[in-house]
A = this chain, B = another copy of it.
Amino acid sequence: MSHPHPELGPPPPLPVGGLRIVALGGIGEIGRNMAVFEYDGRLLIVDCGVLFPEPDQPGVDLILPDFDYVRGRLDDIEAVVLTHAHEDHIGAVPYLLRERVDIPLVGSKLTLALIESKLTEHRIQPVKVEVIEGERRRLGPFECEFLAVNHSIPDALAVAIRTPAGIVLHTGDFKMDQLPMDGRLTDLGGFARLGGEGVDLLMSDSTNAEVPGFVTSEREIAPVIDDVFRTAEKRIIVASFASHIHRVQQVLDAAYAHGRKVALVGRSMVRNMGVARDIGYLKVPEGLIVDSREIEEWPPEDVVLVCTGSQGEPMAALSRMANRDHPIRIAEGDTILLASSLVPGNETAVNKVINGLSRWGARVIHKGNARVHVSGHAAAGELLYVLNLTKPSNFMPVHGEWRHLRAHAKLARLTGVPDDNIVIAEDGVVVDMVDGQARIVGAVPCGYVFVDGTSVGDITDVALKDRRILGDEGFISIVVVVDSTSLKLTGGPEITARGSGIDPVALEAVVPLLERALQDAAADGISDTMQIRRVVRRTVGRWVSDTYRRRPMIIPVVVEL
């Protein structure tokens, strides 16, 4: 089994008849999934998603896959296959299409409908290639076969990619609900057929590889939701993901059964459910949904609000309700249902929302106290089925952090994949499949690309480091106006301190030290602005550190007259 190779060099040329696979995101992290396949000079991309930032990436809106690897070869791209419409699989498409707008997007009906409504906001009209499960389609040298998988969004697909180098099966995200809401099962028969033919490389979803056993059916949430509706005294507010069409369908069904009206709250919820309803993926009884602006006219016991904000996003309606900063004023007797997962990293924010809602007397039901969520990703027991049915010659765990990749690799080994044929290829690692053997042959640069505001890539690691220092310690800026030869202060220094917690008045104690330091510098013949700046920074920094044991950023500005 391969280990991290920080020492990997650039890859050699791809041998004739070989298939090259490079993940530009999604391996070593959960998010920004993007895999690039190359055969005979042509490229096929599977997924193009975003990653959400961590606390040590402050102020960042989104993180994109690093497109550098394909940037010089945009015309070689045959298509982007989108396995399903979650943000971590489609979120970076607008940014890729900015570089070449006519790259065909291949996906199922719902996936294309959702990406299209997203692209409209970016004023992009995409080239769409709609496919359905069971279909085969040639995309340049890549013969693609699409297979149904079930997941926490409808209409997800796995893709088998045939080239003369062999068959690669990429599962996309999947689970194996045996009683799915829409009856659309993960196509294990298809997986078995491919296994019979010979899967040369399996790339499979590792998210839940550490979780033993099997994932409960989405259907089993229904009685829990029903119980919530039966016992709710006043308003019911359900928070879920804006893409979880089956979950929202269950809430609509319960509302209908219990005679409550439903209002959808939040732009993405309204947009996605509109799309899903228009193309027949969401069934809405006539008159069930009312405009959210009208909902206050109904008695509390007759309404349900369906909103986003289940991850504690501070600007979402739910957080604002918890803070009494929203027209809906939570009160004793209200019931809040967080019908979603708790995405790692959001625990603190969600806890804050639960406490806020509890404070006002609401009953809060969440996955910690009721079965109101099931995962969208197959657990270890189910991953074994896929490994055993496809019997891959080579295995590459994808869609996971290191802990998940290691756990999935271990499952593969237990089902008989030889150690040498298990490839843990982090983002940027180049894997060549030649003569039926997948091997790491090198690596290409593959950094994080940060989106902040309208700009892509302006935020660098240096800027993030500065933000971390500023966020922890604040800064002190000192503007000194000096005579350029004597270095005597001709204007009292202008000191500004923000976020440092140091009283500006107390800071004046540094002025005499500064004058003395500048005099000493003048005596030493220092006249270069850079050097004077360094004297100021060092004098102030040392005084602050000695006095307060803190290290705010010190910004000296020297104006010479």
Residues of A within 8 A of B (CB): 3-4, 54-55, 58-59, 210, 332, 344-345, 347-348, 351, 354-356, 358-361, 364, 368-369, 401-403, 405-406, 450, 452-455, 458-460, 463-464, 466-475, 477, 479, 481, 491, 494, 496, 498-503, 548-550, 553, 555, 557, 559, 561
Contacts and interface: CB of A to CB of B under 8 A. Distances in A.
B344 A348 contact: yes
A170 B405 CA distance: 48
Given A475-B498, A491-B559, A503-B458, A453 B348 contact: no
Given A348-B344, A470-B471, A454 B557 contact: no
B475 A548 contact: no
B498 A470 contact: yes
A348 B359 CA distance: 26
Contacts of A356: 402
A387 to B, nearest CB: 20
A355 B206 CA distance: 14
Contacts of A475: 470, 475, 498
14 contacts: A55-B55, A344-B351, A358-B402, A463-B474, A463-B500, A463-B501, A464-B499, A466-B498, A469-B499, A470-B499, A475-B498, A479-B557, A481-B559, A559-B559
Nearest to A544: B453
Contacts of A469: 499
A501 B548 contact: no
Contacts of A358: 401-403, 405-406
B4 A403 contact: no
Nearest to A500: B463
Name which of A344, A402, A464, A548 has the most chain B CB atoms within 10 A of its CB: A402
A383 to B, nearest CB: 16
A472 to B, nearest CB: 4
B500 A453 contact: no
B557 A501 contact: no
A477 B459 contact: no
Contacts of A550: 452-453, 455
Given A3-B361, A467-B499, A557 B557 contact: yes
Contacts of A348: 54-55, 344-345, 347
Contacts of A368: 210
A4 B454 contact: no
A466 B502 CA distance: 12
A463 B4 CA distance: 42
Q: Which 6 A-B pairs have the closest CB atoms?
A: A471-B471, A453-B549, A59-B472, A466-B499, A470-B470, A459-B501
Given A58-B471, A344-B351, A452-B550, A477 B496 contact: yes
B354 A403 contact: yes
Given A347-B348, A351-B403, 11 more contacts: A58-B472, A59-B472, A347-B347, A354-B403, A358-B406, A361-B406, A455-B548, A463-B474, A463-B498, A467-B470, A469-B499
B474 A477 contact: no
B499 A549 contact: no
A85 to B, nearest CB: 26
Nearest to A465: B499
Nearest to A468: B471
A364 B210 CA distance: 11
Given A344-B351, A471-B59, A559-B559, A498 B210 contact: no
A521 B96 CA distance: 45
A369 B470 contact: no
B402 A557 contact: no
A433 B124 CA distance: 68
A318 to B, nearest CB: 15
Nearest to A403: B358
Contacts of A468: 471
B401 A351 contact: yes
Given A496-B477, A496-B557, A500-B463, A344 B344 contact: no
A475 B476 CA distance: 12
